[in-house]
Amino acid sequence: MDQDKNQELLMLGSKLDEISSLVHDAVTFCQGEPIAILTLLRQLESLHREIREEVFQKNLPDTRHGLYALLRDIEAKGGWPYIERMRIQGFLGNMIQEPEE
């Protein structure tokens, strides 16, 4: 059974690499187009929310042992996944900084 699980994890890693590559291709395609980049970010945020609400929450452990294992994994491997939003002050700061000639 462990061998099957390891194979599934390898397949997941491969699929995640494909997804990452596709996202990087989309970023390259959107280069220089802030509206397109914003659209891409909104799509990624939407996917994050969908996975969290419709899949992750439904698959949370229902035992203390399972919850403990999940929390240890979260702590050991980098914390909770989060998509940070740019603060409006940072956005405005970028607009104000114009190169001097």
Per-residue pLDDT reduced to its tens digit, 25-36: 999 999 999 999
Determine the Cα angle at 26 with ends 31 and 95, to 5°: 35
- CA atoms 82, 47, 55, 73: torsion sign: negative
- Are the CB atoms for 26 and 40 separated by under 8 Å? yes
3-state SS track over 27-82: HHHHCCCHHHHHHHHHHHHHHHHHHHHHHHHHHCCCCHHHHHHHHHHHHHCCCCCC
Q: Look up the pTM and report it.
A: 0.71
pLDDT digits (tens, 9 = 90+) for 28-84: 999 999 999 999 999 999 999 999 999 998 999 989 999 999 999 989 988 777 777
